[in-house]
Structure 1
Amino acid sequence: MSLFDDDFYSSKVSRKAKRDLQSGHSRGNKWFSGVRNQKHLQLVILSSVTTVIVMTVLYGLIFGFNPSSKSSNLDLSARAVQASDHIRPAVVSIINEQKFSLGLNGGVLEQDSDEGGIYRETGVGSGVIVQKDKDYAYIVTNYHVVASAHRVKAVLTTGEQREAEVVGLDQITDLAVLKMKAAGIDQVAEIGDSSSLRAAEFVMAMGNPLGMGESITFGVVSVIRETVPVSLGQNGMLDWEQEVIRVDAAINQGNSGGPLVDLNGRVVGINSMKISNFGVESIGYAIPINNVMPIVGELIEQGYVSRAYLGVYMLDLQQYWNRQELDADGSDGEGSLSLPKEVYEGIIVLEALGPAKEAGLQYNDVIVKLDDTKVGSTRELRKYLYNHKRIGDSIVVHYYRGNELREATVTLGENIPEE
């Protein structure tokens, strides 16, 4: 017998107590298991929600998610549709018309000719309305779209044709501004920021390709900033460089002058040209809108862009040597040059006007340096002049007259275009 002979203190457990304990333990297990399962479910749900939130934040950090933007939740196609709808009313087609003399073989008349004739469509292009006042809506297009036009028409997206007037032209940047009556024009394009573009960003080229009517092509920015040589005189001589955006969106004849648009419906460039050589696909170029708008302001204000003016008609010396090789008698229209053997590059003065003439430059002088910068071509001369000099500045021109190297100090004028 133990010291404590009652069940309360005894270490022994009665059968009844065992049965009661076992029964209670079973009921407790079921309750505890339910609680444990419920907590596990809550943990799974909380973990899933947390994962979704974290992934959303990471996606936003990587891809630029903006919770305040309505378009951030739209897919790519929907954003493109929304952007095109936003800008479409501001996009116009441009018709270039020239005046021809009457008759079956009638030729193009001079712009100031009083001779009777008939206007015919000779070219098509595109444009975009970027500014409006109470009287006029102003359209940006390319210089080459309207340069030879005797009369210009703008066609709205509604199909309405309106007479347009050339406000100003700039061949250097290949830009032009037109104006038409503002009545009934409700939409002006929103201007974007071309400096914020990124490679592989989606863009749309809008315009009037081949005169077929309104068109939209879709692609990406291939190169944010590229410099391409161009021929201002369309004569094969590369005498200028254009800063452009390269895109793979299709740009065809007639798209010129139309807007390059981002997926927010903002203009980030003006479609300008494409490479159409055999074997080349989807290489098009647009002028960055940040370069366009200052030019537009000057064209609207004064009809031309003010630049420093040297006053010379030029020919690349390298082009002269190429002609010499083709001429059997060793002479050409520019006359023979007598230069030191080491001079292979430079710019021949075909005619000196204004500031250059006043400083003493003459026909057949060969310019080789401006200030301390060597210049071997018309392109290099223009780049130095337009990028580093202002109207009224002095510039030291180093040139050869025959075998003698000379210098002349020229006070630069302003390139006011002739009427």
Structure 2
Amino acid sequence: MSLFEPGLRGRFFAAVLAAGMAAGWILPAAGPAEARAPDGDFADLSEQLLPSVVNISTTQTVKGRSGGALPEGMPQFPPGSPFEEFFKDFFDRQQRGQGGGNRAPRQVSSLGSGFIIDARGYIVTNNHVIAEADEVRVILHDNTELPAKIVGRDPETDMAVLKVESKQPLKPIAWGDSGKLRVGEWVLAIGNPLGLGGTVTAGIVSARGRDIGAGRYDDFIQTDASINKGNSGGPLFNRNGEVIGINTAIFSQSGGSIGIGFAVPSNMARPVVQQLIEFGRTKRGWLGVQIQSVTDEMVEDLGLDKARGALVAKVLPGGPAEKAGIQSGDVIVSLDGKPVASPNALTRAVAETTVGKAVSVEVMRKGKKVTVRATLGELEAAMASAEAAPAKSNDAKPRAARGETALADLGVRVAPLNAETRKRFDIKDDVRGVVIVDVEQDGPAAKRDVRAGDVIVEVAQVEVRSPDEVSEMLKSLRDAKRKIALLQILRNGEPRFVPVPMKS
């Protein structure tokens, strides 16, 4: 049942208004100040662009509702929203009155937006618009409806490409350079919000480089142009009529626009779209490292001037990084001549680099600058190989047990890795280091989320193989008046660096 079905819609919005006013959720408009429009208006630009923006309709078969599932037709709200329980009760009453209950599988429809990027019929949209669809249809600006084929999709960047066959000429639009965007610049959004179709809204670039937790490649453009449900996959234009973003998400506690929308930058989307058209999938660059952030507490141990770059926690065997001589504990500060500010920046830069390209990688290694050459592999091929490879084992005999040792500086007790401790903490035979068997409550290590079962592999970038070696390293750090012990630990086989303050 559609939210916009006439009979239900009137009762629904009456309930919204009554409940919202009573609870103080809906308040009278305060008349906010509006940004002044630039000279002229967007009429000519909108007229030029509207024929290139399409509505996307999908259908999907879903199982009938039972138990605590959301009532049919109920709008979705963020978890914990005060509207959620109210509307669940409201829609439940409506369905009970209509004989609702457990229902047979049914067809449901959803709407989104897209835009034409090639006269041959290629259309760009968001992956989440078409991800679970059984059927996809594209509605052109003149209301011509065409069946669409999914050419390829990429959940990592939430991008998808469709293909339609049209008897009439299609008008593609050009990509712009999102790297040239400036905060405060005017932008235009066109899409299909709430099924209304052909809707134009304007705003400014509010921020760039936003990480909203959507995935490893987050680099969103933030805009205050009105974006609502149904705008997903639609274009964000600059004043030259070029696509500089793909509207993808909004931040809202109500489900509607509050002036905080996010778009995938064109410079990220464009190569993904090209790969989907050419290969039907993505082919991203791969360096073969696991990385983490550099914190202020790590700076001294890593020999840096400030917290920057991407710290290599692990070099994957057989990968481009290992072949190039990159080591665990290196801090990657530049890739192919461009500075690397953070792990996310490195991830994006590597992914956007052509597979097979040889790049220079500049690292800081124990305070010294080292430059190596690495030929990038393909991420997708590496992931497929890792999933198919059987787990390897090592039959090396464990070392003799020496008993537990308390490390007061860190607030932990450690023990050598032997048959007993490996079995107790489920540690593989090929792991080398010292296992933490107990962590002092509220001690320095506990405050950094160090846990029993973690294996200390390095202290201050020096390998350790026994509790005595750890004790000796901590003593040398104290003698050097160091306040932080930089530990490399393994947890469930995954490495990471942890800076632990030492007790004074």
Residue from 202, 206, 209 that aligns with 1:227? 209
Give the one of 116, 137, 146 matched to 1:162: 146
- The one-character-per-residue Cα deviations of 1:85-118 (angstroms, maximum 9, x if unpaired) are 332232222234444468979x9xxxxxxxxx96
> Judging changes above 3 Å, is the alpha-carbon distance between structure 1 residues 118 and 265 closer, same or farther for their aligned structure 2 residues?
farther
Tell me, in whole angstroms, the C-alpha distance in 1 between the residues paired with 2:329 and 2:144.
Answer: 52
| Cα offset, 1:258, TM superposition | 0.6
Instruction: Work out whether residues 95 and 124 of structure 1, in 8 Å CA contact, stay in contact via their aligned partners in 2.
Output: yes
The answer for the alignment partner of 2:426 in structure 1 is: none
Tell me how far apart the structure 2 counterparts of residues 159 and 380 of structure 1 sit (CA, whole Å).
42
- What SS does the aligned partner of 2:46 have? helix
Map of 1:72 onto structure 2: none
1:132 corresponds to: 119
Are 2:289 and 1:302 aligned? no
Report how far residue 356 of structure 1 moved: 7.1
Contact kept in structure 1, 2:124 and 2:233, CA below 8 Å? yes
Change (3 A) 1:174 1:100: closer
Deviation, 1:176, is 1.9
**Which deviations, in whole Å up to 9, do the C-alpha atoms of 1:314-344 show, x marking residues without a partner?**
68689xxxxxxxxxxxxxxxxxxxxxx9799
Percent identity of equivalent pairs: 31
| CA contact 2:284–2:353 (8 Å) conserved in 1 | no
Choose the corresponding residue for 2:127, options 126, 143, 146: 143
Answer whether contact 1:347 1:378 (CA < 8 A) is retained. Answer: no
- The 1:281/1:181 distance shift into structure 2, 3 A limit, reads same
Instruction: State the Cα RMSD in Å.
Output: 5.1
Within the alignment, does 1:285 sit opposite 2:262 as a pair? yes
Any stretches of 5+ residues in structure 1 without a counterpart? 1-62, 65-74, 108-116, 234-238, 319-340, 399-407
The higher radius of gyration belongs to 1
- How far apart, CA to CA, are the structure 1 residues paired with 2:356 and 2:378? 6
CA, structure 1 residues 357+260, in 2 after alignment: closer, same or farther (shift >3 Å)?
Answer: closer
Aligned equivalents of 2:45 and 2:55: distance in 1?
19
CA contact (8 A) 2:312 2:332 kept: no
How does 1:236-385 map onto structure 2 within 5 Å? 239-244=216-221, 246-262=222-238, 266-276=242-252, 281-289=258-266, 291-311=268-288, 355=319, 369-370=331-332, 379-383=344-348, 385=350
Residue 207 of structure 1 contacts residue 216 of structure 1 at CA under 8 Å; is this kept in 2?
yes
Unaligned runs of at least 5 residues, structure 2:
1-37, 70-103, 295-299, 364-371, 385-504
Q: Does residue 376 of structure 2 align to residue 415 of structure 1?
A: no
Count of paired positions: 295
Residue number in structure 2 paired with 1:218: 201
Does residue 83 (structure 1) correspond to residue 59 (structure 2)? The answer is no
- Report the CA distance between 1:275 and its aligned residue: 2.9
Deviation at 1:159, TM superposition (A): 4.1
TM-superposed CA distance for 1:250, in Å, is 0.5
State the 1:188 CA deviation.
1.4
- Give the alignment's TM-score, normalised by structure 1: 0.52
Distance 1:241 1:358, change over 3 A: same
Distance 1:119-1:160 versus aligned 2 partners, 3 A rule: farther
Distance (whole Å) between structure 2 residues aligned to residue 202 and residue 317 of structure 1: 34
Provide the TM-score with structure 2 as the length reference.
0.45
Q: Distance in 1 between matches of 2:220 and 2:288?
A: 25
* Larger RCO of the pair (alpha carbons < 8 Å, separation 6+): 1
